[in-house]
Amino acid sequence: MTTQTIEQIEKIDKSRYRLNLWRTIALVLLVGGVLAQGIFPENGFVSYIYGIGAILTCVVNGAFIALMAKIRREPQLNEALNNEMFQLYTLKSALCGYYAMVASGLILGALTWVEIVPIPAKICCLGILFCGAVAQAIALLVYDRSR
């Protein structure tokens, strides 16, 4: 492998991490905004959060898809960047997301069951999905951080 390819791999690895960070921020804004709209439907400010999240999601995910396509196109990049460790981290972060969903489902379900806090079903569902998705995204960032 040439020096240029080695440098390219490291550069793309860092780019992928940065894009995942921005995807996490966009996810929090987007889903958080939707959740906030459900809880505070009269509040106009939450619409801005949702709007910023939506735009950021489109832009960042577009860049991420383009980067992943570039990685998959070149066998050397694909072998190095989608190596066994990254695949393991992807699986472990998905597991984190799953457990977060279960935990948030139990908590929200318990709160609704004993009627401590009246939570609409839509908010419950969005809340569970939000916890799962954000937990997965943050877990991947933690596992894949620069060392």
Partner 1 sequence: MGQNELTNTLKVQRAIRDITQEELAAAVGVTRKTINTIENGIYTPSTALALKLARFFEVSVEEIFQLAG
The phi and psi torsions of 72 (rounded to 5 degrees) equal -70, -30
Residue 81 CB, shortest distance to partner 1, in Å, is: 6
Contact between 106 and partner 1 per CB under 8 A: no
Instruction: Report which of 64, 54, 79 is spatially closest to residue 18, judged by C-alpha positions.
Output: 64
38 and 123 Cβ atoms separated by less than 8 Å:
yes
Nearer to partner 1, 55 or 85 (CB): 85
Instruction: Report helix angle 121-143 to 84-113, nearest 10.
Output: 150
Contact string (CB under 8 A) for partner 1, positions 70-99, x = contact:
------x--xxx-xxxx-x-----------
Contact string (CB under 8 A) for partner 1, positions 111-140, x = contact:
------------------------------
Contact string (CB under 8 A) for partner 1, positions 14-53, x = contact:
----------------------------------------
Q: Which of 9, 19, 71, 128 touches partner 1 (CB under 8 A)?
A: 9
71 and 15 Cβ atoms separated by less than 8 Å:
no
H-type alpha helices, the chain: 3-39, 45-73, 75-81, 84-113, 121-143
Residue 89 and residue 87: Cα distance in Å, rounded?
Answer: 5
Binding site for partner 1 (CB under 8 A): 1, 5-6, 9-10, 13, 76, 79-81, 83-86, 88, 144, 146-147
